[in-house]
């Protein structure tokens, strides 16, 4: 069941949204093949090495990561700038607080 804070994803989304195409990414993190809690833990570690305002792009394959990253962003006050799905991969853009 989707609540009002959960984004619904479709397989028809473009590779990059217009907003994503304008984002400057400071770091990329590939967590494909990893399952909960590893994508979040690796992201948390990467964010600790970044400065405020920097953007990280995360690519994951775990469907559970959609909810995990939404909750993580809300709980840590990092901004989830974008979330898309393409070919069973989930791409997240987070801005460090």
| Enzyme catalytic residues | 36
In the block, tokens 């853009």 appear at 93
Asked whether the beta carbons of 50 and 42 are under 8 A apart, the reply is no
Both tokens of 89, joined, read: 């991969």
Concatenating the DSSP letter of every residue in 47-79 gives: HHTS-TT-EEEEEE--TTHHHHHHHHHHHHT-E
**How many distinct helices (H) and strands (E) make up the chain?**
3, 4
């Amino acid at each position: 069941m989707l609540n009002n804070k959960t984004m619904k994803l479709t397989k028809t989304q473009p590779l990059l949204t217009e907003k994503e195409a304008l984002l400057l990414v400071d770091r990329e993190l590939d967590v494909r093949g990893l399952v909960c809690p590893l994508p979040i833990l690796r992201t948390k570690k990467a964010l600790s090495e970044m400065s405020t305002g920097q953007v990280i792009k995360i690519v994951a394959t775990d469907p559970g990561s959609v909810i995990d990253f939404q909750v993580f962003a809300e709980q840590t006050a990092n901004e989830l700038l974008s979330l898309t799905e393409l070919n069973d991969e989930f791409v997240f853009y987070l801005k460090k607080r």
